[in-house]
Amino acid sequence: MKLGLLVSVGLGAVALASSAQAQTAAAGKDSAPAAINQEADIVVEGHTNRTNMAGGGMIAVQDAPIVKTTIGQGFIAKQVAAQNALAAIRLAPGANVGQDNPYGISERGDLSVRGMDQSQMGFVLEGMPLGDPNNYLPNTNEWIDNENIKSITLTQGTSDLDSPVTSASGGLLQVNMRDPAKTMGGTASASFGSYDAYRGFIRLDSGEIGKTGIRVAGSYSYISARNFRGAGVSNRQHVDVKALKEWDNGSRVALIWTRNQLLNYRSTIVNQAQWNAAGANQDYSANYTFGNTNYYKFYPFYRNVDFIQAPSKLKLTDNLTLDVTPYYRSMRPNGPGGSLLSTSGLYVGNQKYTETLNVPYSQGGKFVAEAMSNISEYEGGINTALTWKTGHHEISGGVWFDRFWERALSKFVGVDQNGYANDTGSDYLKYSDGTILSTTNYYLNRQVNALYLSDKISLLDDKLKLMFGVKQIFVDVSGNNFLPGATSIIGVHQTKTTPRFGATYSFGENSMLFFDLVTNARPPSPGPTYMDVFSVTTGAKTTVGNLNTPMEYSFMQEVGYRYQGFLNFSIAGFHNKLTNHQVNTIVVQDGVLTQSQIAAGGESIWGANVEIGLRPWHHFSPYLSGQYLHATTDDDLPSGNDYLPTKGKVAVRTPSFMGSAGLTYDDGKFFSVGTLRYVGSQYSTFMNDQKMPSYATLDFSIGYRLPDIKALKRPTVQLNLINLTRGAYLGSIASPTGNSVATVGRKGTLISASQPGYYMNSGFTVMGTLRTDF
């Protein structure tokens, strides 16, 4: 029924477009431009946040032989000022987005695309890889602020050949940053909302500095908000700086620096029984009593990050271009938790210590500890490509080098009778021989080298375009695990060849057929895959490192049609075959929530997606998108010494249907956006014995741009209403498991149940924003 409704509305939009094209002359400035190009689509008009993009800023012109969705600033600016990039793409076909914080402060955002989870996605900012190289999670709450985003592009199912990513077997999310303005000025805003939320933002543009032609823009933002359930106030401080120098021949050199400081008081992950019993009336405890490891002050997540990069495009000749992007970043995350431990008889690795620990407070030989997962990460690299245009060919070849270092040492701090933990270095629990009580203690180094080569051929007066490409990646991981009983030296070398082919054929004024055959590879996430982890209470390995884990490999095919004019319409069918599929999940290790991987074998994915939108017509821009998906597990799932009979079951995180609709109105002064999103039910276990229910959300924003007031340009008042029609709900699967009901394995073993966990999303939320340029 829902699918029929969307199809009916889509056909109505096509008929509306036909009528609108006959009225182009009467539509004045709201009519479709005679010449449409993607760059003009993305850039906002006169910095007023109006847009000529179809669908109110959600559809840009595409010419690649693959499915892509580009979201422009014209749509982003009308959303909640504090949201992150995941929320901005939530309406795109195939994007299954869940966030446990309505303002994007939490690092517990979750994304899956065509059933591939976010650890199988690539994330790139201006040519620099984003996310955590150790577990491949995006950490979108540390990316650039919304006001500084030019566009966000989601490529469903694959990555661009020259993208500096290794995790993109499932797709690619690219963020482009706004350039500094050519004239001096800036933007300032203040926002206030539900859960005592407030946010401030200011951006300053230098304009062109003297005769140098250099332009600089810098911004600072701060946001603070209570958790929508339970105790805890989270905050985020963020700085973005971009300097740019351009030359008349098209060359440009930029320098970008981003700093993010995050304090996120986490909310609990709930299972289905907890959700059914208490709904949103549950979380970590607001008060401490001895033995309570769920005290909320044990669960603040800290992550401080610095990015610096220099994306550069150099026109060496009219037909020869060099693209170079060096980058570096440092990351300092700390994921804590609570644990009840004995004062003696604990383990470090498999070595037992009978010595009694000196702790601030204990009862009956037990004490409560705050577990601190201290990590220091550093990444640096350079991506270089040379492009030569000659005749009908555009030949490009490049080299990508990336080096990642990580030092991980989990520690414990004893808490006093009031639940206070002094987590300075001198108070970490250690034994008299200097050994630190820890579950992980390792050093990791990963080096990636990649070579890529492509040729784009234009034939038949540019109507037919063919693309041939190949990428060869080499991954070397080394490291040391310092825990007694662990595999002490890590050494893994892997390589993979990933060829691809694509073609587009344009006909008529606005029509295009496209087709692609694409392969991608994803090396195992290093820490969760290769490192042994031990319980401090039993000395047993809770994670057994597997140095023989192969790369995940995907082979995808797509065929589709686009019509790009006043009406933008695209439809595509796709098939993806995965081998050595690695599924992201979360496990609890001595009180600390830790990222892990499930080796799920093969998976087959079939589906189709559609996207429809109109360019502004009498100030209105409708948008529709939808996806049908059928994904199955191809192999039985290992469980101990047996196998769960999962072959042929529906894959986890794969709703059969998702659909979105939006309607934007913008006359230059008054604007509003309404969006409706539906996500079907999805299995959370590989045995298909538990589902996360379907849900629908309705969001609405409204605003007005006032006349200039002296130095204040385009003062704007805006109100955003999130999730208008419902309360809190289960929004995404945090930790899929094999089976939620005890199941007999292929070898006759009774395999015990393991309950999947879910992220809970907030109910109705309001945020108002005052914004002005100057």
Q: What pLDDT digit, counting tens, does each position of 490-501 carry?
A: 999 999 999 999
Structural contact between residues 534 and 486, judged by C-beta atoms closer than 8 angstroms: yes
Residues 145-200 pLDDT 10s: 999 999 999 999 888 899 999 888 888 999 999 999 999 999 999 999 999 999 99
Number of domains making up the chain: 1
pLDDT in tens, 736-755: 999 999 999 999 999 999 99
CB neighbourhood size of 257 (10 A): 15
- Residue 48 pLDDT: 60
Cβ atoms within 10 Å, residue 491: 11
The SS3 assignment for 11 reads helix
Q: What is the band of 12 on the pLDDT scale with cuts at 50, 70, 90?
A: very low
DSSP state of 209: B
Judge contact between 127 and 217, C-beta under 8 A: no
Q: Which H or E run includes 666?
A: strand 657-666
Contacts of 83 (CB under 8 A, 6+ apart): 103, 104, 146
The reported pTM is 0.90
pLDDT tops 50 at residue 111: yes
Q: Could you tell me if residue 761 is inside a domain?
A: no
State the DSSP string of 79-142.
Answer: S-TT--HHHHTTTSTTEEEEESSTTS-SS-EEEEETTEEGGGEEEEETTEE-S-TTT----GGG
**Euclidean distance between CA atoms 310 and 327, whole angstroms:** 7
Per-residue pLDDT at 68 exceeds 70: yes
Percent of the chain at pLDDT exceeding 70: 93
Q: Which amino acid is at 569?
A: F
Q: Which of 178, 70, 30, 101 is nearest to 762 (CA)?
A: 101
CATH of the domain at 531: 2.40.170.20
Q: What is the DSSP string of 401-451?
A: EEEEEEEEEEEEEE--TTS----SGGGS-B-TTSPBP-S-EEEEEEEEEEE
More confident residue, 715 or 23: 715
What gap in Å lies between CA 590 and CA 339, rounded to an integer? 6
Stretch 41-61: mean pLDDT, rounded? 73
Check whether 355 has a pLDDT greater than 50.
yes
pLDDT value, residue 42: 54
Residue type, 56: G
Q: For residue 732, which of 123, 91, 118 has the smallest C-alpha distance?
A: 118
In angstroms and rounded to an integer, the radius of gyration of the C-alpha atoms of the chain is 26
Residue whose C-alpha is closest to residue 369's, from 438, 435, 431, 421: 421
Q: Identify the band that residue 52 occupies on the pLDDT scale cut at 50, 70 and 90.
A: confident
pLDDT over 80 (residue 38):
no
Both tokens of 9, joined, read 């509305």
Q: Is residue 442 part of a domain?
A: yes
- Tokens representing 500 are 């691809």
Measured CA angle at 682 (ends 680, 688), to 5 deg: 145
Residue-wise pLDDT tens digits, 554-578: 999 999 999 999 999 999 999 999 9
CB of 627 within 8 A of CB of 657? yes
Supply the range of the domain harboring residue 676: 2-754+766-773
Question: Contact 611/659 with Cβ under 8 angstroms?
Answer: no
- Report the alpha-carbon distance of residue 725 to residue 697 in Å, rounded: 7
Determine, yes or no, domain membership for 402: yes
> Whole-angstrom Cα distance, residue 660 to residue 560?
20
In a domain, 759, yes or no: no
How many C-beta neighbours within 10 Å does residue 416 have?
14
pLDDT of residue 729 exceeding 50, the answer is: yes
Are 686 and 635 contacting, i.e. CB atoms less than 8 angstroms apart? no
- C-alpha angle with apex 174: 679 to 127, nearest 5 degrees? 160
Structural domain includes residue 760: no
- Name the helix (H) or strand (E) containing 136: none
**Helix or strand (DSSP H, E) at 104:** none
Both tokens assigned to 583:
């599924």
CA atoms within 13 A on the CB side of 737: 18
- As given in the structure block, the two tokens for residue 761 are 């999303």
pLDDT at 457 over 90: yes
In this structure, is residue 94 part of a structural domain? Answer: yes
The mean predicted confidence, pLDDT, of the chain is 90
pLDDT in tens, 374-411: 889 999 999 999 999 999 999 999 999 999 999 999 89
DSSP class of residue 163 equals -
Q: What angle do CA 160, 162, 168 make, to 5 degrees?
A: 50
User: Are 601 and 637 in contact, with CB atoms under 8 Å apart?
Assistant: yes
d(CA 325, CA 323): 7
Query: Are the CB atoms for 348 and 484 separated by under 8 Å?
Result: yes
Could you read off the pLDDT of 257-273 as tens digits, one per residue?
999 999 999 899 999 99
CB neighbour list of residue 191: distance below 8 Å, 6 or more residues apart: 81, 82, 197, 198, 199, 200, 201, 223, 767, 768, 769, 770
User: How far is residue 197 CA from its own chain's centroid?
Assistant: 23
Specify the amino acid at residue 647: K
Bridge pairing between strands 552-564 and 691-692:
unpaired
Overall size of the chain counted in residues: 774
**646-699, pLDDT tens digit by residue?**
999 999 999 999 999 999 999 999 999 999 999 999 999 999 999 999 999 999
- Interval 572-595: pLDDT, tens: 999 999 999 988 888 777 767 777
Provide the token pair at 655. Answer: 């709703």
